[in-house]
Structure 1
Amino acid sequence: MERIEAENPSIAIEAVQDHLPALYFVFGRARTEELASELGREWDFLFPDEKEKVLKMIAETEKEHPEIFQRGHRRVLRRLLQQGIGYHHAGLSPVLKNLVERLYENRLLWVLFCTETFAAGVNFPAASTLFHSCRKWDGKEFRMLMNREFFQMAGRAGRRGFDRVGHVYIKIDEKFPEQTGFFDESEVESVYGRLTISPNSVLSLLKWKTDDEIHRFLTRNFSAYQERRAEREIKALLEELNKQYEEAKSYFCDLRGEAACPLQRRKLIREQKRLRSAKYKNRPGARERLAEIKEILVNQHVQRCLHEVCADARDELEALGYQRAGLLNQMNAIKQQSRKYIQEFQFVKGILEQLGYIKDREFFARGNFALELHVQEILVTELAFAGLLEDLPLEVVAGILAGVDYIPGRREFVPAPPYDPSPVMELREELLEAGVPPHFLVWSNTPGFVAHAWYTGQGLDYLLENTSLQEGDIVSIIRRLIDLLRQIDDASHSNPNLRERVREIRRVIDRDEVAVVF
């Protein structure tokens, strides 16, 4: 691992030019594009025959998608790709991401600026990886990379059959000098399982599993296995602590706690001084206790012994006691977590019974409908049974459903949709008042403008001009909507009118760049 002090990517690439191709990790979509453009002003990595291969692949893509490089700054990307430079992030359209990935796989890109999602690609190794920064925004705050995150990205360095070693470079930021030199493979954070008890999981278990099978599922999943393993490890540590505790106790003689013990005598003298202070001397019982201590000190002879050994043993016992208390707290937390899955199951089951989805194991219409859904099951079911999906215009239904399970980004700008979203908001408020947890009712009005416009025939150009979203964001919104429509289609087998409406919405929006092929 080496360090680079440079803001200009050209300086960094010059320092590592003997170890290309390189993945240059950047934590920000716009920054990947900016750095790629800066590098493109000074570097061109491709020979003429390689440029011809790139142009051929670009032409094949443009043949199917003529406008792919005409939007925004994508013309710059077209030029950069012919220089062996590219960028890759979630804001790119799937078509462009696919093209960039294919060029990289064919060794026609020498420097690729990318966000951390690219690190998950097992087919994308590099001779080197570079980090523009080791700080990232995690949705709540800027923080340093975890060891696991760093090595996931750094691990791209080193191509089997090409490189004897992989090279990792970190750009030093003078504002945050502590961001380098602390990553340790031996301290990579563990991956912990977390079982999510959703309405669909409860309905599926009740529909297809016996009580014993449900109990095993809740108590013997991967997360529960990790908790049992942690419990075994804590028990082993407690046993070792108990051995040390007994060993430390063996240093004490029979006089421990008696007035003849030098340690006990010192304790009594300290108590005596405290009771004589202005703070304690007038408290009830202070005089009587002082007289008692005085009599003990006068009448009891001190035993001569190596009391320093006892003092050390006493301190060790105190430290062991703190450790033991900490381990016991961890043990209690693990036991509570093990019971938590069963409690969550019962809690969600109670909500479903309260809302009229089920009664014990008997399924009603709402329960059968929600059984076919896999996202925000209660919210979508209530939208359907409230008649909103059948009464409102199709373009409005598309807008409403696009907001299901959507959490807007902190810098997103999207105009309000041209319809009244209050029926959904009112329904959501009623469900909250009925005790449904907010995480079962995630909905946003933000994507409504995108889905409504797309349904009414507008294209990517219109949406890019009127929102702050990028192609990838828009495609993601519509594809998520298409998937939800498929789920509702499966769930509405007993409601032909609703099924016909959702199929019509899908037919209209499943087009152009967002088309989903199954």
Structure 2
Amino acid sequence: MALVNNAKCVGMIEAIQDHLPALYFVFSRGRTELLAEELSREWDFLLPEEKKRVAELMEKAEQVTPGLFGGRRKHLRRLLMQGIGYHHAGLSPALKELVETLYEARLVFVLFCTETFAVGINFPAASTVFDATRKWDGRNHRGLLNREFFQMAGRAGRRGFDKVGHVYVNIDEKFPEQTGFFDEDKVEPVHGRLVISPNTALSLLHWKTEAEIERYLSQNLAVYQNNRETASLTEELEAIEEKIYILRKNFCTDKDGPTCPLLREKLKKELNRLRNRKRRHKPEVPGRIVEIKSILAQPGKGCLHHDCRDAHDEITALVERKKELVRRNRQLKKFAVDYHKEFHRMCALLEKLGFIQGKTLLPRGLFALHVHVQEILVTELVFSGILREAEPAETAAILAGIDYEPGRDEVVLPGAYNMDNVALLRNELLDAGVPEQLCRWSPLPGPLAEGWYNNSTFDDLQKRCNLHEGDIFSIIRREIDVLRQIERAAGEDYSFRQAMHDIRGKLDRDEVAVLI
């Protein structure tokens, strides 16, 4: 692994040109495109016959998906013809597949990518490059975890091609702590986390006995891991206490007394510090100097104190370790989740909202039992009459915003529907005590789903917003999944179920359709 200080990507690639292809990890979508463009001004990696092969594969992909390189992706065609590419969640699935195909065929020599490329896609490289070791996690900028770093760095080294993989890290001099670096022995463990969602509570009440619910809440992975780590910490703390007790037997009765050689050495060091010019004029210093001199004036014990010193040093190290363990134990207790309390709290909320009565699921609860995303909000949209009374295109617009959190700079041109009734319903649910994360909805993507329902082209949708095409694709695919859940939940309400089915059919077309 090599560290490079504030290198531009062109200089970085020049330095590692003998170790390509490279996956160049960047922690923002826009920067992957920016760096790819920057590199393309000075590098062209492909031979004429390789360019011909790239052109053939691109033409084949465009035959399946016309307009593949339209809009903001026009420049990507030129980049790929130079053996340079970028890959992030904002690309359409068809474009991501093409970039992956070209990379796998060894026709992309430098691929600028976000960390999602390192998860679930087995495309190794001769080298991996880190543009930085800090990233935005949705709340603030932080350094990469050991686990994250090695997940990406592990892509370096192609079986059958490379004897070793090379990892290069661009270090920003503004953050010198980045050079502390990553340790494979300190990879953070993955911890289980059970979320008691409305659907979880409804499913337990409907399908499980009291004994089974108790077992589920008290014997899940998260509880097991917490209990196991707590037991391990307790065991180590007991072992440390016992070892300290045994080590203290090395000390004689004069330990820490005026004749003890260990104490006298410590006092001599303190005396030298107190005589320092900077400390000399402090009012408490003269008295302390006199006190130390009086102790040292007494005769010291003429013993060999090596065993005492070794025991003292070992005890000091053990005490530090004990402090670490106590801190970790406090953390475990602080963040341990009482799943019984969470379950009963959720049941109380569902009863207040009219989803259940005791253990019995009421009509709202039976409906929500089949919904797995924002189940309270989706159910209330149906039972309040909003979805039943809405026009099909309006329903498409409403459901596009389910579980959607818009980015700071996202812009979508307004559609035909204001959806104020949905915003009002959401506020009523929040006032009734429904947590924000269980009532997530935004009107922003609505006009895109409305347009798509009304047979707009994908290019039309891109012109109505500044979202990446991959994000538009995800919005409509998520809505299709929500519609499928509502159909299942509708049960014997055939007319409503058919209405949702028809909307889903209108949305599941052209670029958005997933071919299986």
Q: Normalized against structure 1, the TM-score is what?
A: 0.84
Task: Write the distance in 1 (CA, Å) between the matches of 2:2 and 2:301.
Answer: 59
The Cα of 1:213 is off from its aligned counterpart by 1.9
The reply to whether residue 67 of structure 1 matches residue 77 of structure 2 is no
Q: Structure 1 residues 353, 424: CA separation in 2 closer, same or farther (over 3 Å shift)?
A: same
| Bigger mean CA deviation after superposition, 409-418 or 342-351 | 409-418
Which residue identity does 1:66 align to in structure 2? Answer: P
Which residue identity does 1:18 align to in structure 2? Answer: D
Which residue identity does 1:396 align to in structure 2? Answer: E
Match of 1:514 in 2: 512
The Cα of 1:39 is off from its aligned counterpart by 1.5
Task: Write the distance in 1 (CA, Å) between the matches of 2:315 and 2:15.
Answer: 56
The Cα of 1:355 is off from its aligned counterpart by 1.8
The Cα of 1:27 is off from its aligned counterpart by 1.2
SS of residue in 2 equivalent to 1:420: coil
SS of residue in 1 equivalent to 2:189: coil
Which residue identity does 2:171 align to in structure 1? Answer: I
Match of 1:276 in 2: none
SS of residue in 2 equivalent to 1:130: strand
Which residue identity does 2:232 align to in structure 1? Answer: E
Match of 2:223 in 1: 224
| Bigger mean CA deviation after superposition, 239-248 or 396-405 | 239-248
Structure 1 residues without counterparts, runs of 5 or longer = 264-303
Task: Write the distance in 2 (CA, Å) between the matches of 1:85 and 1:253.
Answer: 73
- Structure 1 residues 22-50: Cα deviation after superposition (integer angstroms, max 9, x where no partner): 10111111111121122222222222222
| Bigger mean CA deviation after superposition, 131-140 or 337-346 | 337-346
Q: Structure 1 residues 55, 313: CA separation in 2 closer, same or farther (over 3 Å shift)?
A: closer
The Cα of 1:261 is off from its aligned counterpart by 12
Do the aligned residues in 1 keep the contact of 2:250 with 2:311 (CA within 8 Å)?
Answer: yes
The Cα of 1:175 is off from its aligned counterpart by 2.8
Count of residue pairs the alignment pairs up: 477
Which residue identity does 2:346 align to in structure 1? Answer: V
Counterpart of 1:439 (choices 437, 452, 462) is 437
Task: Write the distance in 1 (CA, Å) between the matches of 2:211 and 2:486.
Answer: 31
Match of 1:407 in 2: 405
Which residue identity does 1:428 align to in structure 2? Answer: R
- Structure 1 residues 351-406: Cα deviation after superposition (integer angstroms, max 9, x where no partner): 11222222233222111110111101111001100011110111111111111111
Task: Write the distance in 1 (CA, Å) between the matches of 2:327 and 2:176.
Answer: 37
Counting only pairs closer than 5 Å after superposition, residues 463-478 of structure 1 correspond to structure 2 as 463-478=461-476
Task: Write the distance in 2 (CA, Å) between the matches of 1:424 and 1:253.
Answer: 78
The reply to whether residue 110 of structure 1 matches residue 109 of structure 2 is yes
Match of 1:426 in 2: 424
Task: Write the distance in 1 (CA, Å) between the matches of 2:172 and 2:335.
Answer: 41
Do the aligned residues in 2 keep the contact of 1:416 with 1:445 (CA within 8 Å)?
Answer: no
The Cα of 1:426 is off from its aligned counterpart by 1.6
Task: Write the distance in 2 (CA, Å) between the matches of 1:352 and 1:134.
Answer: 44
The reply to whether residue 242 of structure 1 matches residue 241 of structure 2 is yes
Do the aligned residues in 1 keep the contact of 2:402 with 2:442 (CA within 8 Å)?
Answer: yes
The reply to whether residue 384 of structure 1 matches residue 377 of structure 2 is no
Match of 1:288 in 2: none
Task: Write the distance in 1 (CA, Å) between the matches of 2:428 and 2:9.
Answer: 54
Match of 1:80 in 2: 79
Match of 2:201 in 1: 202
Task: Write the distance in 2 (CA, Å) between the matches of 1:178 and 1:253.
Answer: 44
Q: Structure 1 residues 6, 432: CA separation in 2 closer, same or farther (over 3 Å shift)?
A: closer
The Cα of 1:433 is off from its aligned counterpart by 2.2
Match of 1:267 in 2: none
| Bigger mean CA deviation after superposition, 313-322 or 387-396 | 313-322
The Cα of 1:460 is off from its aligned counterpart by 2.4
Counterpart of 2:451 (choices 450, 453, 461) is 453
SS of residue in 2 equivalent to 1:171: strand
Q: Structure 1 residues 386, 15: CA separation in 2 closer, same or farther (over 3 Å shift)?
A: same
Match of 1:290 in 2: none
The reply to whether residue 356 of structure 1 matches residue 324 of structure 2 is no
SS of residue in 2 equivalent to 1:24: strand
Match of 2:31 in 1: 31
SS of residue in 2 equivalent to 1:404: coil
The reply to whether residue 161 of structure 1 matches residue 160 of structure 2 is yes
Which residue identity does 2:221 align to in structure 1? Answer: F
Match of 2:119 in 1: 120
SS of residue in 2 equivalent to 1:37: helix
Do the aligned residues in 1 keep the contact of 2:6 with 2:173 (CA within 8 Å)?
Answer: no
The reply to whether residue 51 of structure 1 matches residue 27 of structure 2 is no
The Cα of 1:342 is off from its aligned counterpart by 1.3
Task: Write the distance in 2 (CA, Å) between the matches of 1:321 and 1:168.
Answer: 38
Task: Write the distance in 2 (CA, Å) between the matches of 1:102 and 1:481.
Answer: 29
Task: Write the distance in 1 (CA, Å) between the matches of 2:10 and 2:105.
Answer: 23
- Structure 1 residues 133-158: Cα deviation after superposition (integer angstroms, max 9, x where no partner): 11211111222212111111111100
Which residue identity does 2:108 align to in structure 1? Answer: L
Which residue identity does 1:159 align to in structure 2? Answer: R
Do the aligned residues in 2 keep the contact of 1:234 with 1:331 (CA within 8 Å)?
Answer: yes
Task: Write the distance in 1 (CA, Å) between the matches of 2:335 and 2:212.
Answer: 19
The Cα of 1:318 is off from its aligned counterpart by 11
- Structure 1 residues 109-137: Cα deviation after superposition (integer angstroms, max 9, x where no partner): 11111111101144210000111111211
Counting only pairs closer than 5 Å after superposition, residues 138-287 of structure 1 correspond to structure 2 as 138-244=137-243, 246-247=245-246
Which residue identity does 1:230 align to in structure 2? Answer: E
Task: Write the distance in 2 (CA, Å) between the matches of 1:499 and 1:58.
Answer: 41
Counting only pairs closer than 5 Å after superposition, residues 494-509 of structure 1 correspond to structure 2 as 494-509=492-507
Q: Structure 1 residues 58, 244: CA separation in 2 closer, same or farther (over 3 Å shift)?
A: same
Match of 1:4 in 2: 4
The Cα of 1:248 is off from its aligned counterpart by 7.0
Match of 2:296 in 1: none
Q: Structure 1 residues 117, 329: CA separation in 2 closer, same or farther (over 3 Å shift)?
A: closer
SS of residue in 2 equivalent to 1:87: strand
Task: Write the distance in 2 (CA, Å) between the matches of 1:439 and 1:368.
Answer: 21
Do the aligned residues in 1 keep the contact of 2:158 with 2:165 (CA within 8 Å)?
Answer: yes
Q: Normalized against structure 2, the TM-score is what?
A: 0.84
Q: Structure 1 residues 321, 131: CA separation in 2 closer, same or farther (over 3 Å shift)?
A: closer
| Bigger mean CA deviation after superposition, 110-119 or 182-191 | 182-191
Identity %: 53
Match of 1:272 in 2: none
**Aligned-pair Cα RMSD in Å:** 3.2
Which residue identity does 1:360 align to in structure 2? Answer: G
The Cα of 1:323 is off from its aligned counterpart by 7.5
Task: Write the distance in 2 (CA, Å) between the matches of 1:339 and 1:6.
Answer: 43
- Structure 1 residues 428-470: Cα deviation after superposition (integer angstroms, max 9, x where no partner): 2222222222211111111112212222222222222231101
SS of residue in 2 equivalent to 1:163: coil
Structure 2 residues without counterparts, runs of 5 or longer = 261-299
Do the aligned residues in 2 keep the contact of 1:105 with 1:123 (CA within 8 Å)?
Answer: no
The Cα of 1:197 is off from its aligned counterpart by 0.8
Which residue identity does 1:503 align to in structure 2? Answer: H
